[in-house]
Amino acid sequence: MKCPSCHFSETKVLDSRSVSDGLAIRRRRECLKCGFRFSTYEEVEILNLTVIKRNGGKDNYSREKLESGLKKALEKRPVTGDEFKKLIGNIERDIQIRGKDEIKTSDIGEIVMKRLKKLDEVAYIRFASVYQSFRDAETFHKEINKLLREGGKKKGKFRNKISKKTAKLTKR
Ligand SMILES: [Zn+2]
């Protein structure tokens, strides 16, 4: 890593800190020539992962695509930037654990939903309603009802939110 200030190639690490639940590491560095201090952020990169689309076409895995889909689902939800990074990290880790070079869009969808459900139920419903894994209305309603039962036990307020959301979705 070259110094961003003078481009000298040797730097020393002042401090290393694990971030995003151990999925990334931040290092504070100092240039050995000019003393300039800067930080680097290292995380696991998913390389050579091919995504098989519904129509059979292939595409390279793109974190940006995953992020933009999740940002839509999480719009105006109380999720911090760090929680978001952790979510992405966990999803990518689940993908990597499979140990395969190819993954179907539907498999990514399942992984995303599993992780999203743990983080924010409203975002989960949003994502699931857009994502076509609920192949038919019946499966979708079963899932909503299951959430309503779980949500009703935990927090009464949540029930109202979901009911409104369900009403909107069923109108379509
Ligand atoms: Zn320097």
CA 9 / ligand 1 centre spacing (Å): 8
Is residue 6 a part of any domain in this protein?
no
* Complete DSSP assignment for 81-117: HHHHHHHHHHHHHHHHHT--SEEEHHHHHHHHHHHHH
CA 39 / ligand 1 centre spacing (Å): 13
Is residue 138 a part of any domain in this protein?
yes
User: Tokens 């999803």 identify what position?
Assistant: 91
Please state, in angstroms and rounded to a whole number, the distance separating the CA atoms of residues 113 and 125: 9
Let me know whether 30 and 64 are in one domain. Answer: no
pLDDT of residue 32: 97
Let me know whether 149 and 108 are in one domain. Answer: yes
> How many domains would you assign to the chain?
2
Let me know whether 27 and 91 are in one domain. Answer: no
Let me know whether 92 and 125 are in one domain. Answer: yes
User: Tokens 């869009």 identify what position?
Assistant: 105
Let me know whether 17 and 91 are in one domain. Answer: no
Is residue 5 a part of any domain in this protein?
no
Residues having C-beta closer than 5 Å to ion ligand 1: 3, 5-6, 8, 31, 33-34, 36
Is residue 116 a part of any domain in this protein?
yes
CA 13 / ligand 1 centre spacing (Å): 13
Let me know whether 16 and 83 are in one domain. Answer: no
Let me know whether 30 and 86 are in one domain. Answer: no
* Residue pair 108/95 in contact by the 8 Å Cβ criterion: yes
Let me know whether 59 and 131 are in one domain. Answer: yes
Owning domain of residue 38: 11-43
Let me know whether 23 and 60 are in one domain. Answer: no
What are the CB-based long-range contacts (under 8 Å, 24+) for 161-167?
161/122, 162/121, 162/122, 162/125, 165/122, 165/125
Is residue 58 a part of any domain in this protein?
yes
CA 20 / ligand 1 centre spacing (Å): 29
pLDDT of residue 137: 60
Let me know whether 165 and 82 are in one domain. Answer: yes
pLDDT of residue 7: 95
* Complete DSSP assignment for 41-91: EEE----SPEEEPTTS-EEE--HHHHHHHHHHHTTTSS--HHHHHHHHHHH
CA 1 / ligand 1 centre spacing (Å): 11
Let me know whether 70 and 142 are in one domain. Answer: yes
Is residue 2 a part of any domain in this protein?
no
CA 38 / ligand 1 centre spacing (Å): 10
CA 129 / ligand 1 centre spacing (Å): 51
Let me know whether 58 and 99 are in one domain. Answer: yes
Segments in the chain below pLDDT 50: 155-167, 170-172
pLDDT of residue 151: 62
